[in-house]
A and B are shown apart, each in its own frame.
Chain A
Amino acid sequence: MKTETKKIVAKTGNEAAAYAMKQINPDVVAAYPITPSTEIIQIFSKYVADGEVDTEFIPVESEHSAISVCIGASASGARVMTATSSQGLALMHEILYIASSLRLPIVMIVGNRALSGPINIHCDHSDTMGSRDSGWIQIYCENANEVYHTIINAVKISEKVNLPCMVTMDGFIVTHGMENVLLLEDEEVREFLGKREPLYSILDVKNPITVGPLALYDYYMEHKRSQLEAILKSKKIIDEVFEEYNRKFELNIPSFIEEYFLDDAEIAVIAMSSAAGTLKEAVDLLREKGERVGILKLKITRPFPYEILRKKLENVKVAGVMDRAETFSTMGGPVSIEVKAALYPAIKKPVIQSFMFGLGGREFSLDDAFKVFDILKKIKKENKIEEEFIYIGLRE
């Protein structure tokens, strides 16, 4: 099908996510509403009530129960989805590790929101960054269109590698911002996903199994290495699934990274989610002035695409890394720390400056984006980094 014949509609990130869920028609959805992702489940529960999906919708009393139900359902071989934000994701924390270690595909949509305290409902990556080491694949989307298409890909990836997957979008900025979304037909989505082929099923009574056994010092380490193997192998599968999707539907949805004028860039900014959009606008305007600037949008952080970063940043002189979550390590945010670690063994690598921005929904404006590039230009000119991290948009 040609792209021109496809339907382009106006949807918020939450609406796009709920619509993707409707087309996916998961077997089980268990969720507890929380701002700013509430609407995803609110809209989806209407699809359930109206009989537009076959989903068994399980309203629960907390996020801890939501993810626990998802685990049980996924272990039975069902296609399972949920959504949450912030404190809700934090409440799921202990169960996240169980989902990944049991190798259960679950797709969770997260509307990124600051963790308390102080209590805040706006965009910040502290929630998903807090669960970055839980063994889940993590995909950060820039806009509603990317959210829609990425969710469909995430279901296939998750079920192919037998690992759970988070698809995130910036709270309010994307969850509530209305944008153009290019939709596929229901049949296209269902045909692309096919049927789930589970690794095991607890409902297969003819072949009883033990799920979730105790493994102490004699086996825990072997199981963790086995789990690592799954995420190592997922790298190839993630690329293959996005490649198949883009080929089939003539689209260009990025997998691990998206390059924006990176080829000949001397100065690059590594950014995730909606901030990448603002930075792209700044790049457009700086390119008009003939400045060699570019963006590396980091879309997937688990598994971390260090090989790609090493290759793509080889000829960049100065790079800035944008973080929307504090680590209190005193050496910058989680993404900048990982980018630095990824590039350390490289012979040719840029000088890296860490930036902190947008905490708790603080606006990241075009002026702020220019400020980032100004600082990087200064670093390039003077060839030195003076501050370990720089807060952008902070009242000093």
Chain B
Amino acid sequence: MKLKTWRELEEGAVIRNVPTSLEYKTGEWKRESPLYDSEKCTHCLLCWLYCPDFVIKVKDGKIYKFDLDYCKGCGICAKVCPKEAILMKEEKI
């Protein structure tokens, strides 16, 4: 994201084009990424339920995508998975 200069900022640090949270890719924070094995997955959706950042995308009751732009690498999904279908793997910096 290109940072604004002081002249481009709204006076009083007001943010007008809300919500802006989607512009902030919190996925940059992570040290570990979830590695998903669709063969082992039974689509019980516990991971979807527990993910604090809506990273796990579901359509018609089935997981189809991990949106890693917003995954902070907390590992809750791997922890709650009963089938070990998610493993946390260290990010290469």
Contact = CB atoms under 8 A, between A and B. Distances in A.
Contacts, number: 54
Interface of B: 3-7, 9, 11-16, 18, 20
Contact of A101 (B12, B15, B20): B12
Interface of A: 101-104, 162, 199-200, 207-213, 215, 218-219, 221-223, 225-226, 229-230
Nearest to A211: B14
A226 B15 contact: no
Contacts of A207: 16
Contacts of B20: 210
B82 to A, nearest CB: 38
B11 A162 contact: yes
Given A199-B12, A211-B12, A219-B9, 4 more contacts: A102-B13, A199-B11, A200-B12, A210-B18
Given A208-B18, A209-B18, A210-B18, A223 B13 contact: yes
B16 A226 contact: no
Contacts of A102: 12-14
A338 to B, nearest CB: 25
Q: Dominant SS at the B interface?
A: loop
Q: Dominant SS at the A interface?
A: loop
A222 B4 CA distance: 8
A218 B3 contact: yes
> 7 smallest A-B Cβ distances: which pairs?
A103-B12, A210-B15, A222-B6, A225-B6, A102-B12, A226-B6, A223-B13
Contact of B15 (A104, A199, A209, A225): A209
Given A218-B3, A223-B6, A209 B16 contact: yes
A283 B5 CA distance: 51
A104 B12 contact: yes
B17 to A, nearest CB: 9
A102 B12 CA distance: 4
Nearest to B15: A210
A217 to B, nearest CB: 11
B31 to A, nearest CB: 20
Contacts of B13: 101-102, 211-213, 215, 219, 223, 226
Contacts of A101: 12-13
B52 to A, nearest CB: 19
A223 B13 CA distance: 7
A207 B18 CA distance: 9
A210 B11 CA distance: 12
Contacts of B15: 209-210, 213
B14 A200 contact: yes
B14 A199 contact: yes
